[in-house]
Amino acid sequence: MKPDPQFHEPRSSVVFRYTTDAIRNSSHTDTSLAQAIAEQYMAEVAPGERILQFHTGSDADSVERAIKANGQIIARIRNGTVKMPVDLEESWIRALPPHWRDACSRELAQRYGFLGARIPLMEPHAGVLGVARLSVEFGHSLEALTQVLADGRICAKDIPELRRAQDELGQLQAELVTVKHYVATHLQELAPRGVAAAGVGP
């Protein structure tokens, strides 16, 4: 007998899952996030290449109508009336608040077998930011693991917390790779100079 097929969650469903969670747990509403998505899309995709035609306004009344219309476009995509165009995915994810944007991007990258680590900026302040993100993700990972281990045993009812712990550990791993790359790149740039300055070598 052939094994039962193992279907993957559609990419759009992953995006919608993080979108719903962001609306529930951030300052965004359905309307404000829909408008953020519309604005991000219009800022990134040239007019002649747009599959979706979002609305803009020139005065208070037309802006209000545009926001309402854009909300309806996004709502129809979220409820499945219209399929999400592939060209909208990146703008949609970039419009999410940072925590949800990063988590969604990583999950989608992991579907291709990548860690989802961010390419680090090499400016000095980027190192401080990387360490801060690493600390935050470490705290989230400890919190998630604590929830799993709280009663001293692991059973089927722990599956949601195990999935959360897996997600948090994946995000911690990605941040660690980013910081490691930041350190390695600076070391590679500075080490030859350091050796020369110390008078080592022929």
Q: What is the predicted pLDDT for the residue at 148?
A: 85
Q: What is the predicted pLDDT for the residue at 172?
A: 84
Q: What is the predicted pLDDT for the residue at 91?
A: 97
Asked if pLDDT for residue 131 goes beyond 60, the answer is yes
Q: What is the predicted pLDDT for the residue at 47?
A: 94
Helix (H, G, I), strand (E, B) or coil at 35: helix
Q: What is the predicted pLDDT for the residue at 83?
A: 95
Identify whether the C-beta of residue 65 lies closer than 8 Å to the C-beta of residue 57.
yes
Task: For 145-165, give one letter per residue: b (16+ CB within 10 A) or e.
Answer: beebeeeeeeeeebeebeebb
Task: Write the pLDDT tens digit of every residue in 9-56.
Answer: 899 999 999 999 999 999 999 999 999 999 999 999 999 999 999 999
**Dihedral of the alpha carbons of 130, 173, 90, 16, in degrees to the nearest 10:** -120
Give the integer Cα–Cα distance in Å for 95 and 100: 10
pTM of the model: 0.67
Average pLDDT, the chain: 86
Task: Write the pLDDT tens digit of every residue in 153-182.
Answer: 888 888 888 888 888 888 788 888 888 888
Asked if pLDDT for residue 201 goes beyond 70, the answer is no
SS3 content of the chain, % helix, strand, coil (to 5): 70, 0, 30
Task: Write the pLDDT tens digit of every residue in 65-101.
Answer: 999 999 999 999 999 999 999 999 999 999 999 889 9
Q: What is the predicted pLDDT for the residue at 62?
A: 94
